[in-house]
Amino acid sequence: MLALESIKTQVEQAIPGAKLEIVKNDAPSAQHSLLVNNTSGLAVAKYLRDEPSWRFDYASNVTGVDWPELELTEKIKVKKVVDGVEKEVEEVKKTVRPGYLETVYHLYSMELKHGPLIIRLRTENRTDKVHLPSLTPVWRGAEFQEREIFDLYGIVFDGHPDLRRILMWDGFKDFPMRKDYAEPDDYEYEPTPHDEVLDKAKQHYPAGA
Amino acid sequence: MHLPRCEDFGPWTLDLGLIVMLGEGIIKGMAVTAKNFLGSYVSEERLTTIQYPEQRQELPEAARQFPFLVFDGNDPMAGLRCVACQICEKECPPKCIYIEKSKDKKPDYIGKPQLYPATFDIDISVCMSCQICVEVCPFDAIKMDTEFELSTGDRFGGLLVNKHQLAKSNAHYHRIHPTEADEVDARLAAEKLKAEAKAKADSEAKAKAAAEAKAKAAAAAAAPPATPPASPPPPAAK
Amino acid sequence: MQSIEPSKNFEIRPKLSDAGAVEGELLEVSMGPQHPSTHGVFRMDIVLDGEQVVKLKPVFGYLHRNHEKIGEGTTYLGSMPYTDRLDYFCSMTNNWAYALAVEKLAGLQVPERAEYLRVILAELTRLQNHASLCGFFVQDMGASGTPLMYAFREREKVLDLFEAISGARMMCNFMRFGGLRCDAPVGWLEQVQKVVDEFPAFLDEFQALLSENEILMARTQNVGVLPRDLVVNASITGPLLRAVGVNYDIRKVDKYGIYDRFHFRVPLGERGDVYDRYMMRVLEMRESVGILQQALKSVPGGPIVDPKAKLRGFRPKAGEAYGRIEGPKGELGFYLISDGSPNPYRYRVRPPSYINLTVLEDMCLGHNVADVVIILGSVDIVLGEVDR
């Protein structure tokens, strides 16, 4: 397995403007990933594919992930003056991590039979700045998968040859896989509703079950 | 004509040699079809059709369809093993089980008082026979039945089975899944023995402790009182 | 055959030629969702010049159930029965891929006996999938179901084995995280041995019936050729990839499970046409029989599931994992992101049939409509997996 550090330094040297960051993964699978900045996404991808000792010519999996805005609370110790004496007081600090959408690429090499190398691209926010470079010109296998991410998450891939909805029908409006997707109100009777379905049932059939 | 070249597949690649399109391959194929057709008159394995519903297929023991509730003894409602813990309701992936707990308690197979289900409905139009409810039940109360001829004309009511329709006896369970049922019975009997042994040990220890306490109290009473009883204080002034 | 460039325009309706109606128009046909030869609810918008295909756009989503969102709302164990219904022909391998991904995520170890049984079940799945596929593919060509029914005879034997061990024929829900749901009943391994011993006779009969058939060869050779430089770039996996000659079998590359203990060869094709793909599947069936014979000889006793694995209240640590196997259709992978809760945060299926459809247009250009049916049959799609 190639060390991510060495890949990072080599790519940053080869491609001016590329900024890579290692995203650690705590699970026992130990599949750490590289975060690539958007402007040099295409150049980095081409370099990864064509570099003779790596030859990542096979994009196995392209996934979209939705990270909504998250409020993080952490307790930090702050030096404060209390009753004239300087003490260390524990305060609760709230930070808001802004929401973004993310695309994760799992790359393998069919020629040299190694992998996986995982790279990530993140959008700036979830509302209007949702453009990412499309890596379909580099790996044609990403074509349908990027269309699916556009369809279900709303990330617009610049440079994709045929970006339109693939699983939902063409006139569909919303993006179903987002965490804040509101389902249309098309409740049908069912005898054993639970949880959210039970709430819907109570609205539609207030008298009975 | 080309043959697929594989690593070193030797005798398995086709050896077509010089083939002229005479139709030899087609005739060879027709020989196979004839063998199967005529063979179906003589050998069992070539005639694989089972004339359902006159003939039925022997299902293996593990075959599963929809769940049912097991009861011990003769009274379906009193002998139900289910204690309405609602674990199967939570773990069911399509959420087709609906349970309402009772208000009172009755003893289970060990003798501990437990709640029981006042309502236990399964919507078998939603149930996908995944068997997760059976796996997570801690009381071996719900098991998989093998009945699949359940068509009905009523789409909603006919496919919602309640606990009276679901309750089937342990004897039925032995009939459809004998090995499993034997194993479950052995396990429940062992647990019951262990619980009884523990209860007996507890009661013996309690009796012993009570006897010791009584003996100590008797010994304390036998000894002469150390101090004379104090005179009662004068009654409080009104 | 004229060489026609694949057009990448969004507009499915091409413009008429300038000469007008005299030269003849291009005909747009929707080989629609209800069709006996499209292997499910699958639609292709084909633009035809006479009988030849000028443009082809696959349209699917008719079976889209948003399985990934259901996965986010269900526990890890609760998603296992839903994975059966992805590629509904191969439920055991779907279960294994998901269990593999979760085991990577949570760091569970699978005991020996469970590994052997997993390999046996996966290779049985491969056998029945390839047999049915060859049958369906030949039926699309007009063989009226006879080879299909011969293949289904063998498939019934394998499904009876699945029913004996797991309780259900197709939707088995049998693998668990860290092992299997329960042990094989007494006598099951002998039954498997019997089925495996009878299988080569079926394969010989099948090959005598089909592989030298002149009609089959004339209709499938040089049809639907996939160029080698396209196939790796388009993320094609499975028998389609190996028919072109690229030696990439995940059982050999990743060595997941205990596949490194068995000796088996990887059949490779030469030209990547439909006949090569058909032969790939026949030869892979023979290899699977070899693996099964080896595995059945040495199944050890022992526990069937990792003692650290929990059935209820399973909460893997936050992190992510990607687990993949060589399914009968290609690389089936599961990508899971966990945030410490009982439900996964992101649950993604990497479907081989979906990605193999990327090159459908390139394979079909210039061929006749009848060839389109055959090419689609050789790609081996199952709509449950394409649409999820």
Find residue C330's DSSP bridge partners: C327
Q: Which residues in C297-382 belong to E strands, given as ranges?
A: 319-327, 330-338, 346-350
Find residue B143's DSSP bridge partners: B68
Nearest residue of chain B to residue A198 (CA atoms): B95
Q: Find the CB nearest A27 among C66, C235, C321.
A: C321
The pLDDT tens digits of the residues spanning C228-241 come to 888 888 889 999 99
Asked if the model's pLDDT at residue B16 lies above 60, the reply is no
Q: Find the CB nearest C105 among A29, A106, A139.
A: A29
How many CB atoms are located within 10 Å of the residue B78 CB? 11
What is residue A2's predicted lDDT score, i.e. its pLDDT?
Answer: 57
Q: Please count the residue pairs, one from chain A and one from chain C, whose beta carbons lie less than 8 angstroms apart.
A: 109
Chain C: give the shortest CA distance to residue A209, in Å.
23
Rounded CA separation B222/B65 (Å): 73
What is residue C301's predicted lDDT score, i.e. its pLDDT?
Answer: 86
| Chain C residues near residue B91 by CB distance under 8 angstroms | 75, 77-78, 312
| Chain B residues near residue C192 by CB distance under 8 angstroms | none
Mean pLDDT, residues C34-58: 86
What is the identity of the amino acid at A162?
D
What is residue B238's predicted lDDT score, i.e. its pLDDT?
Answer: 41
Chain C within 8 Å of A146 (Cβ-Cβ)?
A: no
Asked if the model's pLDDT at residue C207 lies above 70, the reply is yes
More confident residue, C9 or C237: C237
CB contact under 8 A, C235 and A58: yes
Q: Find the CB nearest B156 among A189, A193, A197.
A: A189
Identify the band that residue A207 occupies on the pLDDT scale cut at 50, 70 and 90.
low
What is residue B14's predicted lDDT score, i.e. its pLDDT?
Answer: 45
String of DSSP letters for A125-174: -SSS--EEE--TTT-TTHHHHHHHHHHHH--EEET-TT-S-SSS-TT--S
What is residue C223's predicted lDDT score, i.e. its pLDDT?
Answer: 87
Identify the band that residue A49 occupies on the pLDDT scale cut at 50, 70 and 90.
confident
String of DSSP letters for chain B: ------SS-GGGS----S--SSSHHHHHHHHHHHHHHHHHHH-GGG-----TTTS-----TT---SEEEEE-SS-TTTTB------HHHHH-TT--EEEEE-SS-EE-SSS-EE--EEEEEEETTT-----HHHHH-TTS-EEE--------S-SSSTTEE-HHHHEEEHHHHHHHSHHHHHHHHHHHHHHHHHHHHHHHHHHHHHHHHHHHHHHHHHHHHHSPPSSPPPPPPPPPP-
Rounded CA separation C352/C338 (Å): 23
- Poorest-pLDDT segment among A14-23, B32-41, C47-56, C377-386: A14-23
Is beta strand A58-67 parallel, antiparallel or unpaired with respect to A70-82?
Answer: unpaired
CB contact under 8 A, A61 and C322: yes
Write down which chains contact chain B via at least 3 CB pairs under 8 A: A, C
Specify the DSSP element, H or E, that contains A103: strand A100-108
Q: How far is CA A175 from CA A162, A168, B148, C383, in A?
A: 18, 9, 40, 22
| Chain A residues near residue C320 by CB distance under 8 angstroms | 25, 27, 29, 31
For residue B131, give both structure tokens.
């068997």
Chain B within 8 Å of C47 (Cβ-Cβ)?
A: no
- Side-chain half-sphere CA neighbours of B203 within 13 A: 5
The pLDDT tens digits of the residues spanning B84-102 come to 888 998 899 988 898 988 8
Mutation target to probe the C interface, by most C beta carbons within 10 A, among A148, A167, A183 is A167
CB-based contacts of C116, cutoff 8 Å, min separation 6: C258, C295, C298, C299, C300
What is residue C290's predicted lDDT score, i.e. its pLDDT?
Answer: 92
The pLDDT tens digits of the residues spanning C52-111 come to 888 888 888 888 988 999 999 889 999 999 998 988 899 999 999 999 999 988 888 899
Identify the band that residue C313 occupies on the pLDDT scale cut at 50, 70 and 90.
confident
Mutation target to probe the B interface, by most B beta carbons within 10 A, among A188, A189, A190, A192 is A192
Mutation target to probe the A interface, by most A beta carbons within 10 A, among B89, B98, B156 is B98
What is residue C20's predicted lDDT score, i.e. its pLDDT?
Answer: 43
| Chain C residues near residue A63 by CB distance under 8 angstroms | 335, 346, 348
Rounded CA separation B128/B221 (Å): 72
What is residue C24's predicted lDDT score, i.e. its pLDDT?
Answer: 64
Chain B within 8 Å of C269 (Cβ-Cβ)?
A: yes
ipTM for the assembly: 0.86
Indicate the average pLDDT of chain A: 82
What is residue B2's predicted lDDT score, i.e. its pLDDT?
Answer: 45
Nearest residue of chain B to residue C183 (CA atoms): B62
Q: How far is CA C239 from CA C157, C281, C306, C313, in A?
A: 24, 7, 33, 39
Q: Is the dihedral of CA C159, C162, C167, C168 positive or negative?
A: negative
CB contact under 8 A, B31 and C208: yes
The pLDDT tens digits of the residues spanning C138-186 come to 888 888 888 888 899 899 999 999 999 998 899 989 999 988 998 888 8
- Poorest-pLDDT segment among B156-170, C5-19, C312-326, C371-385: C5-19
The label of the residue with tokens 């060839």 reads: C371
Chain C within 8 Å of B39 (Cβ-Cβ)?
A: no
What is residue B36's predicted lDDT score, i.e. its pLDDT?
Answer: 84
Mean pLDDT, residues A162-191: 83
What is residue B10's predicted lDDT score, i.e. its pLDDT?
Answer: 38
Peptide bond into C342 cis (omega under 30): no
Chain B: give the shortest CA distance to residue A194, in Å.
7
Q: In angstroms, how far is CA A85 from the centroid of its own chain? A: 47
Find residue A71's DSSP bridge partners: A96
What is residue C22's predicted lDDT score, i.e. its pLDDT?
Answer: 41
More confident residue, C156 or C213: C156
Asked if the model's pLDDT at residue C272 lies above 90, the reply is no
Asked if the model's pLDDT at residue B18 lies above 90, the reply is no
Chain B: give the shortest CA distance to residue C4, in Å.
25
Rounded CA separation B159/C33 (Å): 31
Q: Which percentage of chain C shows pLDDT scores above 70?
A: 94
CB A155 within 8 A of CB A103: yes
Identify the band that residue B110 occupies on the pLDDT scale cut at 50, 70 and 90.
low
Chain C within 8 Å of B16 (Cβ-Cβ)?
A: yes
Phi, psi at C255, each rounded to 5°: 50, 50
| Chain C residues near residue B62 by CB distance under 8 angstroms | 163-167, 185
What is residue C9's predicted lDDT score, i.e. its pLDDT?
Answer: 47
Indicate the average pLDDT of chain B: 79
Chain B: give the shortest CA distance to residue C208, in Å.
6
What secondary structure letter does DSSP report for C24?
-
CB contact under 8 A, C355 and A139: no
Chain C within 8 Å of A97 (Cβ-Cβ)?
A: no
Rounded CA separation A197/C226 (Å): 48
Write down which chains contact chain C via at least 3 CB pairs under 8 A: A, B
b/e per residue C287-300 (b: at least 16 CB within 10 A): bbbbbbbebbeebe
More confident residue, C21 or C214: C214
What is residue B1's predicted lDDT score, i.e. its pLDDT?
Answer: 39
Identify the band that residue C294 occupies on the pLDDT scale cut at 50, 70 and 90.
very high
Rounded CA separation A97/A38 (Å): 19
Rounded CA separation B109/B226 (Å): 54
Q: Find the CB nearest A60 among C319, C331, C357.
A: C331
Chain C: give the shortest CA distance to residue A84, in Å.
43
| Chain C residues near residue A160 by CB distance under 8 angstroms | none
More confident residue, A71 or B136: B136
CB C130 within 8 A of CB C210: no
Mean pLDDT, residues C342-349: 92
Indicate the average pLDDT of chain C: 86
Chain C within 8 Å of B222 (Cβ-Cβ)?
A: no
Write down which chains contact chain A via at least 3 CB pairs under 8 A: B, C
CB contact under 8 A, A197 and B95: yes
Phi, psi at C373, each rounded to 5°: -65, -40
Specify the DSSP element, H or E, that contains C29: strand C27-31
How many CB atoms are located within 10 Å of the residue A28 CB? 16
List A residues 171-190 in contact with B (Cβ-Cβ < 8 A): 189-190
List C residues 350-369 in contact with B (Cβ-Cβ < 8 A): none
CB B28 within 8 A of CB B16: no
Rounded CA separation C314/C343 (Å): 9
| Chain A residues near residue B97 by CB distance under 8 angstroms | 192
Mean pLDDT, residues B12-24: 51
Find residue A65's DSSP bridge partners: A102
Mean pLDDT, residues C337-344: 90
More confident residue, B2 or C2: B2
Asked if the model's pLDDT at residue C7 lies above 70, the reply is no
Mean pLDDT, residues C116-129: 93
Q: How far is CA C233 from CA A92, A138, C229, C328, C329, in A?
A: 51, 8, 7, 21, 18
User: Closest Cα to residue C274, out of C245, C249, C246, C243?
Assistant: C243
Asked if the model's pLDDT at residue B221 lies above 80, the reply is no
Identify the band that residue B17 occupies on the pLDDT scale cut at 50, 70 and 90.
very low
Asked if the model's pLDDT at residue C293 lies above 90, the reply is yes
Range with top average pLDDT, A29-33, A69-73, A173-177: A173-177
| Chain A residues near residue C324 by CB distance under 8 angstroms | 60
Q: In angstroms, how far is CA C274 from the centroid of its own chain? A: 16
What is residue A129's predicted lDDT score, i.e. its pLDDT?
Answer: 84
Nearest residue of chain A to residue B157 (CA atoms): A191
Asked if the model's pLDDT at residue C345 lies above 70, the reply is yes
Chain C within 8 Å of A141 (Cβ-Cβ)?
A: yes
What is residue C164's predicted lDDT score, i.e. its pLDDT?
Answer: 92
CB-based contacts of C32, cutoff 8 Å, min separation 6: C43
Q: Is the dihedral of CA A46, A50, A56, A61 positive or negative?
A: positive
